[in-house]
Amino acid sequence: MIDVYFTPTPNGHKVSIMLEETGLPHRLLKMDVLAGDHLTPEYRRINPNGRLPAIVDHDPIGGGAPLPVFESGAILLYLAEKSRQLLPENPRRRSQAQQWLMWQMASFGPMQGQAHHFIRYAPEGQDYPVERYRNETIRLLHVLDGRLREADYLAEEYSVADIATWPWARATGAIGLSLEDFPAVAAWFERIAERPAVIAGTGIKNAANLSSARPVLTEEQWSNLFGQNMLAAPTR
């Protein structure tokens, strides 16, 4: 059994989609980041970085004690290895899957994440970071579109690279971008959105984008996410 410390965000959905695709037995443990569920010493022992998602595999590859795994990209690779699915056997494709997975983890997720922060959470009127991170997200969408004009999937076959990237493509609507401006991305997005595991893993029946509303946070919630409570949380 695999416990998934889960919140329904793009990084969380990578793992829920992967588990639906592979059929590995698991249970989702819902974490409320606004309430600070991720700041506890117990959770830090599972994920020293204190972010979501993380998993604990009670029947790990190689046996032994339950194995915690953090970082969504590392979780996808672990689950691919465990299930022997969704990481291509062919060395060229396998390398492509790893390259695009690293690209998502290092660029498409973090840059867009900053765009979400400055557009939806930070005090309004900060034009420079909004423009900087939205432009970087647009640049990365062009990179993704270029790849998907060459191949139907990032590693030529559906893989962990697509599973990592798809939820972040879905999130671009919330920062005012439209996939219709990137035709190869839009076609790939729809292809993947129809997969039963993606529908089950995201709890959505259509590909509608996430809300672009600015969340209204209490002082406590703000502190849990971005302020003193977050800074004061123990490290292990």
**Total residues interacting with ligand GSH, rule: CB under 6 A:** 11
Binding part of the chain for ligand GSH, among 7-15, 55-63, 202-210, 213-221 by CB under 6 A, reads 7-15
Which of 8, 24, 29, 51 touches ligand GSH by CB under 6 A? Answer: 51
Query: C-beta of 8: minimal distance to ligand GSH in Å?
Result: 9
- The tokens for 222 are 């703000």
Cβ proximity to ligand GSH: between 35 and 208 the closer is: 35
Q: Does 9 bind ligand GSH (CB under 6 A)?
A: yes
**Under a CB-based contact definition with an 8 Å cutoff, are residues 104 and 161 in contact?**
yes
The 168-207 site mask, x for binding ligand GSH (CB under 6 A), equals: ----------------------------------------
**Under a CB-based contact definition with an 8 Å cutoff, are residues 207 and 180 in contact?**
no
CB-based contacts of 32-40 (< 8 A; 24+ apart in sequence): 32/7, 33/7, 33/224, 33/225, 34/217, 34/221, 34/224, 34/225, 35/221, 35/224, 36/220, 36/224, 36/229, 36/233, 38/5, 39/224, 39/229, 39/230, 39/233, 40/233
Binding part of the chain for ligand GSH, among 4-12, 132-140, 152-160, 213-221 by CB under 6 A, reads 4-12
- Residue 166 DSSP symbol: H
Phi, psi of 29 (to 5 degrees): -105, 110
Query: C-beta of 109: minimal distance to ligand GSH in Å?
Result: 6
**Under a CB-based contact definition with an 8 Å cutoff, are residues 10 and 171 in contact?**
yes
- Distance from C-alpha of 83 to C-alpha of 97, rounded to nearest angstrom: 16
Q: Does 37 bind ligand GSH (CB under 6 A)?
A: no
Q: Which residues ranging from 66 to 105 are in contact with ligand GSH (CB under 6 A)?
A: 71-72
**Under a CB-based contact definition with an 8 Å cutoff, are residues 77 and 105 in contact?**
no
Which of 4, 18, 28, 52 touches ligand GSH by CB under 6 A? Answer: 52
Binding part of the chain for ligand GSH, among 5-13, 59-67, 150-158, 206-214 by CB under 6 A, reads 5-13
Q: Does 225 bind ligand GSH (CB under 6 A)?
A: yes
Where along the sequence are the contacts to ligand GSH (CB under 6 A)?
A: 7, 9, 11, 33, 38, 51-52, 71-72, 225, 230
